[in-house]
Amino acid sequence: MTKDRLTTSAGAPVPSNNTSATAGPRGPVMLEDYQLVEKLAHQNRERIPERVVHAKGWGAEGTFTVTHDITKYTCAKIFSQVGNTCDILSRWSTVAGELGAADAERDVRGFSIKFYTEEGNWDVVGNNTPIFFVRDAFKFPDFIRTQKRHPKTNLRSPEAMFDFWAAQPESVHQVTILMSDRGIPVNPMHMHGYGSHTYSMWNAQGGRHWVKFHFRCQQEIKNYSNGEAEKLIGSTRESYQEDLYNAIDEGQFPKWELNIQVMPEEQANDVDFNPFDLTKVWPHDQFPLIPVGMLEFNKNPENYFQMVENAAFSPSNKIPGIGFSPDKMLQARVFSYADAHRYRLGTHYEALPANAPKAAKLNHYHKDGSMRFFTNDFGNPDAYYEPNQYGGPVADPSVKEPPLKISGDMDRYEQVETDADYVQPRKLYTEVLDAAQRDRLHKNMAAAFGPCSQPVKERWLAVLEKVHPDYAAGVRAADEAGDTDVNAIPVSDDTPVDSND
Ligand code: NDP
Ligand code: HEM
């Protein structure tokens, strides 16, 4: 087989890729051996900053197919016809661990999907939980600090985690899910995904609905107990990457059904919970799941770094027909992600293959900066500002979102604890989880807060007491007895039910 000639990055043929140019056989090395310098310099630049959160992740490429007509809710072109398809890119992740963290740790999982639609890229940057720990962005950096390493010990600190959660009782809903069976999925292919926030859709008539996105796992829901996960981590830290890569490589393509919950714009004032509060779900019986389409992941990226590390998902990436909502956390995220990408990847990060639109034509006036390796002179080098007389691209008012009525005074509204913070976790505890699942929840929680000081434990138990006295009593008993061993989780306890249940 004839092989291509190795070249420099400037295209010149390279005489050797394993012997340095030296003065005599024993050295020293000549400074003019520029290809040696180049090789070492490149190696020094092979890492970019890891994501400040969600550093460890696993990704795949695939296809989204629209299966149901939702044109009464949205004029987004991708949903204009049943059968429409677009390419998709996923990245699933853990939140707290660094890039080298073990995959099978108890943590929330990130669930990011990029839809490459003909009207631009639409990103849903969600989690495998329908809710979140806090509901005001001011609290997010502090919350994340409690998940990362202690400044002195350089270790993760349960004391910090539970100290923070006990002072933010709205977090009990998410912490309950985290400590339940679903806190350690066996891999990304066996968990649901949620957009979590409330978003909006508008239709061709300008009517707006609030929506929640649900990605219903088409594989069995499967989870590990702490013991199983610890054993697994002892043998491999990369179990998710192995499972996902091998499944796709062997033609077993994981699938999720995209569903939406829908609320007419005006109804937001009439429901007995704040539909824009990220610590609350919309109950299924009031807002049934409506199937929309199917996601199938059928391709491992040719180069992990290029497509998964370089991927820049952002809630700010939306398309005409899909919009934001007043959710305070969502508003902050709309700012934060692109800011993170400019820092982590560079000015023109959206020109990287993972982030560049695949189906939409790109026409923007951004100019210079790092990674300026594309042209956009629109056929005329003078059309580099706007408005111009050279036929450069112009904005299209027809894609404007319908006006949104805002009411109230501008103020800093306290995110005070209310009884409503306990209603949904109580329902989860008493009605969704059965006795065996509650028992495992008690033990997992006791294992997690075992290392905490007694005052922090008591403050957290007081929060659990407000959810349900049995919850606090169960965790206290497991903690006092040191009874934190959970056997394998029976799959039948956790099988997904039909999406319209
Ligand atoms: P439903 O009985 O219709 O829904 C219960 C939901 O809980 C199902 O989606 C179920 O998933 C999911 N679930 C089961 N076990 C767990 C677990 N350990 N951790 C997280 N989710 C789990 O009732 P409601 O819609 O009225 O919701 C009741 C409670 O269920 C809520 O207060 C909330 O805590 C939780 N929940 C609700 C969701 C929603 O969007 N309404 C979504 C997820 C959880 P599956 O279908 O796979 O069994
Ligand atoms: C990643 C900020 C809340 C899901 C990130 C990143 C930042 C960030 C800066 C790193 C981005 C990058 O470098 O590419 C915030 C802020 C939040 C918030 C400021 C609250 C105000 C949430 C919530 C969810 C979420 C509520 C889920 C519903 C994710 C996911 C990733 C991520 C999935 C990884 C994206 C990927 O796979 O590349 N977040 N986040 N975040 N966040 Fe958030």
Is 33 within 8 Å of 8 (Cβ atoms)?
no
54 is catalytic: yes
Ligand 1 atom with the shortest distance to the CA of 284: 25
Determine the 3-state secondary structure of 170 from DSSP: helix
Residue 124, ligand 2, Cβ within 6 A: no
Residue 162 lies in a domain: no
Say yes or no: 10 and 129 in one domain: no
Say yes or no: 62 and 37 in one domain: no
Give the total number of structural domains in the chain. Answer: 2
127 is catalytic: yes
Tokens 């956390």 locate to 329
Quick one: 454 exposed, middle or buried, by C-beta within 10 A (0-12, 13-18, 19+)?
exposed
Confidence of residue 501 (pLDDT cuts 50, 70, 90): very low
Residue 53, ligand 2, Cβ within 6 A: yes
Residue 188, ligand 2, Cβ within 6 A: no
Confidence of residue 500 (pLDDT cuts 50, 70, 90): very low
Residue 156 lies in a domain: no
Is 337 within 8 Å of 314 (Cβ atoms)?
yes
* Nearest CA-CA partner of 110 in 100, 121, 97, 122: 97
Among all bound ligands, the one having the nearest atom to the CA of 441 is: 1
Give the pLDDT confidence of 417-465 residue by residue, as tens digits: 888 999 999 999 999 999 999 999 999 999 999 999 999 999 999 999 9
Residue 127, ligand 2, Cβ within 6 A: yes
Q: Which domain range does residue 199 map to?
A: 57-136+182-358
Say yes or no: 26 and 74 in one domain: no
Residue 61 lies in a domain: yes
Residues pairing with 214 in the sheet: 194, 259
pTM of the complete model: 0.96
- Cα radius of gyration rounded to whole Å, the chain: 25
Catalytic residue (choose from 54, 190, 341, 348)? 54
* Nearest CA-CA partner of 241 in 499, 34, 5, 60: 60
Residue 439 lies in a domain: no
Of 330, 358, 386, the position where a domain reaches its end is 358
Say yes or no: 122 and 193 in one domain: yes
Report whether pLDDT(478) > 60: yes
Say yes or no: 27 and 72 in one domain: no
Residue 329, ligand 2, Cβ within 6 A: yes
The CATH number linked to 108 is 2.40.180.10
Say yes or no: 65 and 39 in one domain: no
Q: Is 429 annotated as a binding residue?
A: no
State in Å: Cα 439 to ligand 2 middle.
32
Ligand 2 atom with the shortest distance to the CA of 194: 28
The CATH number linked to 29 is 4.10.91.20
Apex 362 CA angle, 359 and 366, nearest 5: 150
Give the pLDDT confidence of 35-60 residue by residue, as tens digits: 999 999 999 999 999 999 999 999 99
Say yes or no: 229 and 273 in one domain: yes
Distance from C-alpha of 302 to C-alpha of 428, rounded to nearest angstrom = 41
**Ligand 2, atom 13: closest residue by C-alpha:** 51
Say yes or no: 274 and 339 in one domain: yes
Residue 247 lies in a domain: yes
- ipTM value of the model? 0.98
Residue 148 lies in a domain: no
State in Å: Cα 38 to ligand 1 middle.
54
Give the pLDDT confidence of 249-280 residue by residue, as tens digits: 999 999 999 999 999 999 999 998 999 999 99
Residue 91, ligand 2, Cβ within 6 A: yes
Say yes or no: 331 and 276 in one domain: yes
Say yes or no: 83 and 1 in one domain: no
Among all bound ligands, the one having the nearest atom to the CA of 194 is: 2
Task: Give 13's DSSP letter.
Answer: B
